[in-house]
Amino acid sequence: MVRLEDIKRKAEHKRSEYLKSKILDTPFFPLSLRGDKGSIYDDFATREAELAALFAHSKANKGKGYTLELEHKDSRTMGHQTIISDIKIESEEDYLFLLKEEKRGNIFDENLKQLRQTFPEEALISWLLTRKHEIYTKWTSDDGLWFCRITRFLIDHPNSGLFAREVNVEAPTKFLENNIASIKSLVSSIRPLSEGNDDYAQLGLRRKEQLIKLRIKDAFTITQNETICGYTPILMLTPESLKEFFLEVERIFIIENETVFLTFPLQKNELCLYAGGYGILSCRQSRLLENSKIFYFGDLDEHGYAILDKFRSLYPHTQSFCMDVTTLNDHNAYCIEGKAYTSTYEHLTHEEELVLASLRRGTRTYSLEQERISVSYIHMKLKSLFNSVG
């Protein structure tokens, strides 16, 4: 015999179809739910108690909810018994009452109306079908209005160059940041996204400026109006400022890990650069990088080689440092299980591809973090590098 909780569970399983019908404006009710009708050989007393419980919570008793359709059976052994032949939910009102989701259903209707009034139907439908559960379960009565205001602004101002919190609409300051994936997916169905490496750039927005750190052996001299103001071993620049920055150096070492950046041994004619992993890809059209020998030193893992591969597409003369077969073999005991990264590598050398292949072992991928490589080992590799360069 079907129980009340079984009816609710079956109704919940139909929620996706229910929301789809709301979006496409297609009929959904009456809804028929198949249940365990029971057997004429069930215990008579148990059947009567279960039926009584179902009737007590049915539409006939509550005024809303499910309706039971009954069938009467006679058997020689058990006599006259009543069996449930069908369970029907006749209307949306009954459905939401059964699931105790009347308020949620009303909010969904309000948000759906707001979205349809703001965006073209042909772009909205596919987006709604993908995001329907998110809208139904997570959005409040205000979220639809805030979402429409922000998304409409970004569609109408494709390259505003504003920070997320500068977007001139009435909505909570963090709403855009907390819902950027949903916003971007709808914007992309209405207008082409802008060029960029992240969601903000593709929406035509600015993120908090990333700072590129430069380090030399001694110190940079700080001057103002031709007067020396002080000295600093580390200089921080935005990617935009780096474009015109220039310093006569023989070699530049780009380091993925900040601790390694701070401890990397340098000579007077060398410079260390740190941009935080993938942040180095923002360093485009740099005079400094275009006119110096570049050595990239990252983690020996799929992400490290992906960064190297993409950076080399910007600066083809980039060489890798401590990312060779020998370094991997010498530190094999320090390898840990890493994270797989789906990428197409187009700018790696044959040896770099060999290291990458060695890190893939069956279904697992491994990583040698660069901070596992000692300073003394780096010294040795630098000496070997200088000898090979001549």
Residue 123, both tokens: 């772009």
The amino acid present at 77, given as its one-letter code, is T
Sketch out the chain's domains with CATH numbers.
4-99 (no CATH), 103-202 (no CATH), 212-389 (3.40.1360.10)
Strand-strand pairing, 270-274 and 293-297: unpaired
- Choice among 97-106, 145-154, 210-219 with the minimum mean pLDDT: 210-219
| C-alpha span between 33 and 135 (Å, rounded) | 25
Alpha helices in the chain (DSSP H): 4-13, 15-24, 44-56, 59-62, 92-99, 102-118, 121-138, 143-156, 175-178, 180-190, 199-202, 239-242, 258-263, 287-290, 302-314, 325-330, 350-358, 375-389
| Residues 6+ positions from 270 with CB-CB distance below 8 Å | 216, 217, 249, 250, 251, 252, 253
Read off the pLDDT of each residue in 188-214 and give the average, rounded to a whole number: 86
Q: DSSP assignment, residue 206?
A: B
Question: Whats the size of the chain, residue-wise?
Answer: 390
* Angle made by CA atoms 202, 162, 123, in degrees to the nearest 5: 45
| Number of Cα atoms under 13 Å in the Cβ half of residue 199 | 13
What are the distances in angstroms from CA 388 to CA 269, 293, 322, 329? 17, 14, 14, 21
Q: What helix, strand, coil percent values describe the chain, rounded to 5?
A: 45, 20, 35
Give the pLDDT confidence of 272-283 residue by residue, as tens digits: 999 988 889 889
| C-alpha span between 340 and 245 (Å, rounded) | 36
The amino acid present at 178, given as its one-letter code, is N
Give the pLDDT confidence of 241-259 residue by residue, as tens digits: 999 999 999 999 999 999 9
Model confidence at 194, pLDDT cuts 50, 70, 90, reads confident
Give the pLDDT confidence of 39-63 residue by residue, as tens digits: 555 555 666 777 888 889 999 999 9
Residue 278, both tokens: 């993938």
Q: In 3D, which of 240, 242, 265, 235 has the Cα closest to residue 253? A: 265
Helices (H) and strands (E) in the chain, counts: 18, 12
Determine the pLDDT at residue 242.
93
Residue with token string 């009737």: 55
Model confidence at 35, pLDDT cuts 50, 70, 90, reads low
- Rounding to the nearest 10 degrees, give the CA dihedral for residues 256, 258, 262, 267: 10
| C-alpha span between 321 and 257 (Å, rounded) | 14
Percent share of the chain, pLDDT over 70: 93
What are the distances in angstroms from CA 308 to CA 208, 251, 277, 289, 320? 24, 17, 10, 14, 8
Residue 76 has pLDDT above 60, yes or no: no
Model confidence at 102, pLDDT cuts 50, 70, 90, reads very high
Determine the pLDDT at residue 343.
72
Is residue 203 within 8 Å of residue 183, measured between CB atoms?
yes
